[in-house]
Amino acid sequence: MRLTVLAGGIGGSTFLRGLLKARPDAEITVIGNTADDITLFGLRVCPDLDTVMYTLGDGISKERGWGREDETWVIKEELAAYGMEPTWFGLGDRDVATHLVRTQMLDAGYGLTAVTEALCTRWNLPVRLLPMSDDRVETHVVVDDPDNPGTRKAIHFQEYWVRLHAEVTAHKIVAVGQEKAKPAPGVLDAIAECDVLLVPPSNPVVSVGTILGVPGIREAVRETAAPVIGLSPIIGTGPVRGMADKVLAAVGVQSTAAAVAQYYGSRAAGGVLDGWLIDTSDAAQLGAIVAAGIHAQAVPLWMTDETKTAAMADAALTLAEAVRR
């Protein structure tokens, strides 16, 4: 069975662990979000690709959910001692090696797809991990400029998310470079030729939204013969973890499972979903989702351990069979 998954960082990779447990023999292609990417101290950092790589390669810090296990922070401390900015981004020593390899290969002219494949070889990844695009796309967030009251400025998503903890109002979210970006090699085929396309409980705006926003990808999702099934990252009235509610508000979407389903839209009406799983505690929203033309079901959606996450993946694949045209 060929499965294609559109993934952000923590939500996407946690779901993938469950999917691998539920379907160990599936041929899985992951299309990763690269709009979180940032260049720091000359190093190209791809947070979401690395979270997927380290998680599925068993190298992730289980405590933090990002970066490496057994990490040390000497480079970060030394940079701070030189007064180098930014100090708010966690670059661990082991992690830096990944960024050095990536930057060196990019500088030598390799595309991000080839670089990612090379990095993943070391980790014996049980999936094929593709960046959404080899072209640079970077999410920026428009916020009030504290230095110039009454005016606004755009800052990199990482500054908004990591330094400011999404605590300032996001007026607008802009994926810089997106309109000129092309899907990476293999991405459109992975969408067209899979048996099921899965949208894990990843951030609908700055993870899945930026992947779908690469010209050609949303269209490919609309046209694939495979059923497209998503799982809600929102349970109750907020994200399960993280600050997805803040970026949903910036695009005018309420933080509920039904509102996110409507934001993605039904494929029958020009959107991207055939089916949507919501948490059992949100079962009252099933009617609204079905009314939007999306098959829906309520199952437990807390990814508290791999067995529970595998059950979620299984439910998504069962729903896929029920809606297959």
Q: Which of residues 116-175 bind ligand GDP (CB under 6 A)?
A: none
Nearest to 232 by CA among 203, 272, 253: 203
Residue 158 binding target from Ca ion, ligand GDP, none, CB below 5 to 8 Å by type? none
Q: What's 180's DSSP letter?
A: G
Q: Site mask, ligand GDP, residues 192-221, x = CB under 6 A?
A: ---------xxx---x--------------
Q: Site mask, Ca ion, residues 32-51, x = CB under 5 A?
A: ----x-----------x---
Nearest to 139 by CA among 246, 47, 44, 35: 35
Name the β-bridge partners of 229: 198, 275
**Nearest distance, CB of residue 204 and Ca ion, angstroms:** 12
240 makes contact with ligand GDP (CB under 6 A): yes
Q: Which is nearer to Ca ion, 36 or 279 (CB)?
A: 36
Identify the burial level of 162 via C-beta atoms within 10 angstroms of its C-beta, where 0-12 means exposed, 13-18 middle and 19 or more buried.
Answer: middle
Nearest to 92 by CA among 119, 60, 118: 60
Residue 150's H or E segment, with its range, is none
End-to-end Cα distance, the chain: 17
Q: Which is nearer to Ca ion, 10 or 259 (CB)?
A: 10
Among positions 3, 10, 28, 211, the unique one binding ligand GDP when judged by CB under 6 A: 10
Among positions 4, 11, 99, 266, the unique one binding ligand GDP when judged by CB under 6 A: 11
Structure-derived torsion over alpha carbons of residues 119, 178, 6, 219, reported in degrees to the nearest 10: -130
Among positions 48, 50, 95, 274, the unique one binding ligand GDP when judged by CB under 6 A: 48
Residue 239 binding target from Ca ion, ligand GDP, none, CB below 5 to 8 Å by type? ligand GDP
Residue 202 binding target from ligand GDP, Ca ion, none, CB below 5 to 8 Å by type? ligand GDP
Residues 198 and 221: beta-carbon distance below 8 Å: no
233 makes contact with Ca ion (CB under 5 A): no
Nearest to 178 by CA among 206, 136, 140: 136
Tell me how far apart the alpha carbons of residues 55 and 240 are, in angstroms, rounded to a whole number.
Answer: 19
**Which phi and psi (to 5°) does residue 297 adopt?**
-150, 150
Number of residues that bind Ca ion (CB under 5 A): 4
Q: Which is nearer to Ca ion, 88 or 284 (CB)?
A: 88
Q: Which is nearer to ligand GDP, 105 or 198 (CB)?
A: 198
Q: Which residues would be at the binding site for Ca ion (CB under 5 A)? A: 8-9, 36, 48
